[in-house]
Amino acid sequence: MEALQKFLNKYTYHSFKKGETILLKGERPDAVHVIESGLVKTYGITVDRCERLVSIDCKHEDFPIGFTLGLTQKAQYFHEAFTSCMVRMVPRADYADYLNQNAESMYARQVRVTSLLLSTLSRVEALEQPTAGGKIAHTLLYMASRVGVVLRPYNTQLKIAITQQEIANALGISRETTNTELKKLERMNLVSHSRKSYILQLDELRAYVNSWS
């Protein structure tokens, strides 16, 4: 996407450290936020003050969702740096004009939005699972689909640093339960991890997930 990057280079950027807030829910953005590097976490907060993951957003994705095309005027969720990241700030009119005049970039954005939709539907399915183990297995597959790196056939290693507490927060379960269920997946040789790096046996994990359907 050289054309998109050339366009983005004209605009200022902000760097954010992991865990730093980028936008608050209800905030009116000054511009479209386009991720140039790193990952951004989109999440909500429940009435009992618990964090709930909505999505993990990647390079060249823009947020807040809907703001780019004028469907919303305020951020519908909280946006936070999931890793250290750099975000370009592009005036909405400029970005919309660029997309209207560049069919390739518009198509690429449509592909990204469709990918996000499919991943979000996977997240919904994960939350609907009746057991903690099912929720965790689905969530790991979701993360692999968004930010996984293929190591070799049928293996995917997540290229993000993620803790058991972050997985627990995303699902609304305790860290202790998360630890117990991850150990079960390890004993089944579906998942292995070293510190914060997770390796998934994708075919086997998908078969395990499908067995719950």
Query: Are 8 and 36 contacting, i.e. CB atoms less than 8 angstroms apart?
Result: yes
pLDDT per position as a tens digit, 68-84: 888 999 999 999 999 99
Average the pLDDT over each of 49-63, 120-134, 146-160 and give the range with the smallest value: 146-160
Give 55-58 contacts, CB < 8 A, sequence gap 24+: 55/116, 55/119, 55/120, 55/123, 55/146, 56/82, 56/143, 56/146, 56/147, 56/160, 57/116, 58/146, 58/147
Compute the C-alpha angle 111/83/12, nearest 5°: 70
Average pLDDT for residues 28-43, to the nearest whole number? Answer: 95
Q: What is the pTM of this model?
A: 0.82
Which residues are CB-neighbours of 96 under 8 A, at least 6 positions away?
A: 68, 69, 70
Q: What is the pLDDT of residue 213?
A: 61
Query: Are 80 and 19 contacting, i.e. CB atoms less than 8 angstroms apart?
Result: yes
**Mean pLDDT value across the chain:** 87
- For 55, phi and psi rounded to 5 degrees? -160, 165
Q: Which residue segments constitute the domains of the chain, with CATH numbers given?
A: 2-121 (2.60.120.10), 129-210 (1.10.10.10)
Q: What is the pLDDT of residue 40?
A: 95
Task: Give the residue, 199 or 21, on which the prediction is more confident.
Answer: 21
Using the Cα atoms of residue 46, residue 51, residue 56 and residue 59 in order, give the sign of their dihedral: positive
